[in-house]
Chains A and B, each alone.
Chain A
Amino acid sequence: MSRRVTLNLGFQGHLEPVTVVIPDDEPTPWLFGERFQIVGKPTPRVDGALRVTGAARYTYDISMPGMLYGAILRSPIPHARIKSVDLSSARRLGGVRAAIRMDDTVVRFAGQEVAAVAAIDYETALDALGLIKVEYEPLPFVAELDAAMKPGAPPVFESGSNVQRPTVNEHGDVTRGIAEAAAVHEAVYLTPVQTHVSLEVHGSVARWDGDELTVWSSSQGIFTVRDDLAVYFNLPHSKVRVVCEYLGGGFGSKFGAKPETVIAARLARQANAPVKVMCTREGEHLATGNRPDAIQKVRLGAGHDGKLTVLELVQHGSGGIGSGSGSAGPFLSLYHCPNLRTEETNVFMNTGPSSPMRAPGWPQGCFALELAMDELARKLALDRLEFRRLNNPNPVRALEFDIGAELYRMEGKERRAQIHGSVKTRNRRRLRGLACARSVGSASPRDRPSRRPRRGSDGHPGHRHRHANDPRDGRGGGAGRRTLAHRLPSRRHALSIFGSLGRKHDHAVHHAGGSPGRGAS
């Protein structure tokens, strides 16, 4: 059964009535300007007291009877063939319950996992690592972006060049755009590698109950961890359960079952006991992900009217042994330009794999593009904000520019700042900047709450549970959902937040309504 509802969709000053069909068991979406009892009002976090008192249990804090402590041996060499791994002395050490080596026969970065042990305490596990004998045959390596790009650089993978095939996006004609420009700005922008540095390191506690695996993981994506483990151990999804109740930061780096999680599960199986494996801070920096570096060659040109005639990016970046270093996003979506070309090239080198970090590629891209926009505005003697307005294709952003300009003005000395760049305010040496970015927020459908009614664990039929991949990482989305759930008038709604429940269909989703994080714009 469904019903027709007319909604006012759009944004401030641009609202249109749209009639939609909504299933009967779905709530009516929020309307523009609607006032709520809870949303939009300050409310303390439901779990605030647990966090500030240290009572919240993060993955690192979990212990259970018989739990062993794992530790990982990492390669000290950036590129080597592993000729042998001798675990026998480590196994013989008193208190050691399991020792494994990794499946790989070649290490490609310093910090790559080679072997691991589990023992009755952490200190014994460290001792056991010291007893593992690894014979490496060192191979040539390269660990800097410009060196890795050079012809003849040591190949990271046997299969060929470090420089991968570029991704090109193009429309119009860059040469024509240059010819038409009254002013051109050309520069190279460099950004370094950054590591995520979540305060809680990556890691997991794994426990087998027969052929069922439960993993408590410091993860932003319990479903992705479950799926990866199911594949690795060749288990049906119903046999794998992943839990994350509190998360000490992730910043994009904690999706999927990474080596330390697989290691915990392998050690637990061998030891027939629960095993906790948490990375050391050093291992965290080396092996659990980073934001790639980038070399961005930018060409930007505009006419006397302030309209862009050309936008060009030639970018190289290294995701280490991984990929995904592209940064063209802002170039492709912030401004209108008739002649545009971006070329993104990932380069392999012998360093740890990159992983998503807070809008992958965007900070690097915005850094280059927006500095270049400022430079070009200066060359054209245009106000920097005005220059952006002239090239902005998006009516929502035009409104946002107005809001931004208003806020900016409130602090004084703004005109000079807009034209001349940074200013020093009288009392503080504060630098001002102006830049444009764009949010590309969209959770993957499976990460949205499931609204499938099911029987409550307390046995009461008809309770509506919402299963969400919603680790308490503190960004507030989860806190918002919990706040709503706590205040729902009836107890017919309950919230099951922390665990993937194993069965494949549990993350079936319906898209309507839902998260308070999704507003009208």
Chain B
Amino acid sequence: MKHDKHGPPDSRAISRRAFIKGAGAIAATTGLIRTPPASADAAPDAQDGIVERIGPGAQTIELKINGEVKRVTVEPRVTLLRALRDHLNLTGTKLVCDRGACGACTVHLDGKPVTSCMVLALDARGHEITTIEGLLTPDRMSPLGAAFVEHDAAQCGFCTPGMMMSMAAALASNPKAQLEDVKRAVAGNICRCGTYPHVFAAALSVVRGGNRGES
């Protein structure tokens, strides 16, 4: 079974390419990952963009998540999404397509929304990671969260945390967002239940209610 992970990450700040070069471009093929690449004996080559050689085994890294430093031991191929869900029990971030197509796994990296299935956990080191749990909780609702509930913007709710992350980032950078803006904000978030109109209404109600600093 191939585990196909291609396509660029959302954020230019995160270079997954650097890792793939370093690991001999085998990261996408499961089953081979434990074998050192044939080219691994080549010396690190700064000109080739290789700054660090990591793996293939698990190693302990530090990630700054929701303001706290967390230590997690993962193999280089583990995505930020899997690290959050499987290793840190932060399951509000959902796994749906695992290939950057649906937006359900959206988190903020230094305040920008990225699909965490397309970011390796290793590459998230040194960045401020915010997950849905860091954005709001049932006891600490944000205005946008309350608006989502009020406008019934979640049906099954599986896409909803991702929607929330995308929308929160959009409103933070554009507090005067209009319909077209909020539509664009979740253009990369798939909702199979069809909650979009309610999501738009929720977001616009926050805009109209005065910018109460959503993020």
Of listed A69, A127, A200, residue having the most chain B CB within 10 A: A200
Q: Which of B136, B138, B193 contacts A474 (CB 8 A)?
A: B193
Q: Which of A61, A71, A123, A246 contacts B1 (CB 8 A)?
A: A71
The segment from B148-156, B173-181, B207-215 found at the interface with A is: B148-156
Q: Is B78 an interface residue (CB 8 A)?
A: yes
Q: Which of B103-143 contact A (CB under 8 A)?
A: 104, 131-133, 136-138, 141
- Specify which chain B residues have a CB less than 8 angstroms from the CB of A247 in the assembled complex: 156
Q: Is A249 an interface residue (CB 8 A)?
A: yes
Q: Is B3 an interface residue (CB 8 A)?
A: yes
> Of all chain B residues, which has the CB nearest A42?
B152
Asked if B85 and A53 make an inter-chain contact with CB atoms under 8 angstroms apart, the answer reads no
Q: Is A102 an interface residue (CB 8 A)?
A: no
A55 to B138, CA, bound (A): 7
Closest Cβ of chain A: how far from B210's Cβ, in Å?
A: 21
Q: Which of B30, B86, B138, B145 contacts A69 (CB 8 A)?
A: B86
A467 to B32, CA, bound (A): 49
Q: Which of A406-465 contact B (CB under 8 A)?
A: none
A197 to B194, CA, bound (A): 13
**Bitwise interface map of B from 76 to 99 toward A, beta carbon under 8 Å scored 1, else 0:** 011000100110010111111111
Asked if A54 and B156 make an inter-chain contact with CB atoms under 8 angstroms apart, the answer reads no
Asked if B31 and A48 make an inter-chain contact with CB atoms under 8 angstroms apart, the answer reads no
A251 to B155, CA, bound (A): 12
**Bitwise interface map of A from 225 to 261 toward B, beta carbon under 8 Å scored 1, else 0:** 0000000000000000000001111010000000000
Asked if B190 and A199 make an inter-chain contact with CB atoms under 8 angstroms apart, the answer reads yes
Q: Is A357 an interface residue (CB 8 A)?
A: no
A49 to B138, CA, bound (A): 5
The segment from B12-20, B46-54, B158-166 found at the interface with A is: B158-166
Asked if B91 and A61 make an inter-chain contact with CB atoms under 8 angstroms apart, the answer reads yes
Closest Cβ of chain B: how far from A438's Cβ, in Å?
A: 22
Closest Cβ of chain B: how far from A373's Cβ, in Å?
A: 27
Residue total for A at the interface (Cβ-Cβ under 8 A):
48
Asked if A49 and B149 make an inter-chain contact with CB atoms under 8 angstroms apart, the answer reads yes
Asked if A61 and B160 make an inter-chain contact with CB atoms under 8 angstroms apart, the answer reads no
Of listed A131, A199, A283, residue having the most chain B CB within 10 A: A199
Asked if B77 and A56 make an inter-chain contact with CB atoms under 8 angstroms apart, the answer reads no
Asked if B85 and A52 make an inter-chain contact with CB atoms under 8 angstroms apart, the answer reads no
Asked if B96 and A44 make an inter-chain contact with CB atoms under 8 angstroms apart, the answer reads no
A-B contact count (CB 8 A): 145
Asked if B31 and A127 make an inter-chain contact with CB atoms under 8 angstroms apart, the answer reads yes
Task: Given A57-B91, A281-B98, check contact A200 B31 (CB 8 Å).
Answer: no
A474 to B148, CA, bound (A): 14
Residue total for B at the interface (Cβ-Cβ under 8 A):
51
Asked if B89 and A63 make an inter-chain contact with CB atoms under 8 angstroms apart, the answer reads yes
A44 to B190, CA, bound (A): 23
A63 to B137, CA, bound (A): 20
Q: Is A148 an interface residue (CB 8 A)?
A: no
Q: Is B102 an interface residue (CB 8 A)?
A: yes
Q: Is B34 an interface residue (CB 8 A)?
A: yes
Q: Is A270 an interface residue (CB 8 A)?
A: no
A121 to B102, CA, bound (A): 24
Q: Is B70 an interface residue (CB 8 A)?
A: no
Closest Cβ of chain A: how far from B213's Cβ, in Å?
A: 18
Asked if B138 and A199 make an inter-chain contact with CB atoms under 8 angstroms apart, the answer reads no
Task: Given A54-B132, A249-B156, check contact A123 B161 (CB 8 Å).
Answer: no
Asked if B31 and A131 make an inter-chain contact with CB atoms under 8 angstroms apart, the answer reads yes
Q: Which of A92-133 contact B (CB under 8 A)?
A: 121-123, 126-127, 129-131
Q: Which residues of B contact A (CB under 8 A)?
A: 1, 3, 30-34, 75, 77-78, 82, 85-86, 89, 91-99, 102, 104, 131-133, 136-138, 141, 145, 148-150, 152-161, 164, 190-193
> With contacts A45-B149, A129-B30, A474-B155 known, what are 16 further pairs, Cβ within 8 A?
A53-B92, A53-B137, A54-B133, A60-B94, A60-B95, A73-B1, A121-B86, A123-B30, A130-B31, A199-B192, A249-B192, A280-B1, A281-B97, A281-B98, A474-B156, A474-B157
What 6 pairs across the A-B complex have the smallest Cβ distances? A54-B92, A130-B31, A248-B158, A51-B157, A474-B155, A61-B91
Q: List 25 A-B contacts (CB under 8 A).
A: A45-B149, A48-B148, A50-B138, A51-B154, A51-B157, A52-B157, A52-B161, A52-B164, A53-B133, A54-B160, A56-B157, A57-B91, A63-B89, A71-B1, A73-B1, A74-B1, A121-B86, A123-B75, A127-B31, A248-B94, A249-B158, A281-B97, A281-B98, A473-B156, A474-B193
Q: Which residues of A contact B (CB under 8 A)?
A: 44-45, 48-58, 60-61, 63, 69, 71-74, 121-123, 126-127, 129-131, 197-201, 246-249, 251, 280-283, 472-476
